[in-house]
């Protein structure tokens, strides 16, 4: 098992450009999440998904979009990049039945800089 994989590892964008951060998990987890981690801060939830075709906003969703067409993939889209989106982005997945939380497993992260 590769676990949770993310691409790219690093990216520099210009203001106004768009990009998609890719996330794939091979653990057959139903829940997937996107977080951002700003320097010296904890993780903040951007969006999450409880299964294919179902997504919901987290704490900081503005400026981002997501889709979940398969169990394995959960891409995060930035449409108009802004300097405030400079951060490290982590994807995570977990298997949860109902509201009982199972452990979230994290990918290695994507470091994004917007100039």
Partner 1 sequence: AQSVAQPEDQVNVAEGNPLTVKCTYSVSGNPYLFWYVQYPNRGLQFLLKYITGDNLVKGSYGFEAEFNKSQTSFHLKKPSALVSDSALYFCAVRDTGRRALTFGSGTRLQVQP
* Contacts with partner 1, residue ranges (CB under 8 A): 4, 31, 33, 35, 40-45, 48, 50, 56, 58-59, 90, 92, 96, 99-101, 103-109
DSSP bridge partners of 37: 43, 88
- In the structure encoding, which two tokens stand for residue 111, read together? 């470091």
Shortest gap between Cβ of 92 and partner 1 (angstroms)? 8
Helical (H) or strand (E) element with 92: strand 87-94
Query: Which one, 49 or 85, has the nearer CB to partner 1?
Result: 49
Query: Which one, 17 or 72, has the nearer CB to partner 1?
Result: 72
- In the structure encoding, which two tokens stand for residue 68, read together? 């979940």
3-state secondary structure of 31: strand
Query: Which one, 50 or 82, has the nearer CB to partner 1?
Result: 50
């Amino acid at each position: 098992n590769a676990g949770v994989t993310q691409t790219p590892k690093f990216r520099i964008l210009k203001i106004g450009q768009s990009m998609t951060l890719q996330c794939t998990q091979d653990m057959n987890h139903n829940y997937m999440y996107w977080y951002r981690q700003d320097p010296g801060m904890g993780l903040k939830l951007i969006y999450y998904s409880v299964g294919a075709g179902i997504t919901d906003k987290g704490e900081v969703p503005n400026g981002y979009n997501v889709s979940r067409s398969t169990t394995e993939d959960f891409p995060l889209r930035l449409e108009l990049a802004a300097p405030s989106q400079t951060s490290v982005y982590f994807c995570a997945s977990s298997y949860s039945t109902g509201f009982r939380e199972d452990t979230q497993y994290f990918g290695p992260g994507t470091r994004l800089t917007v100039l």
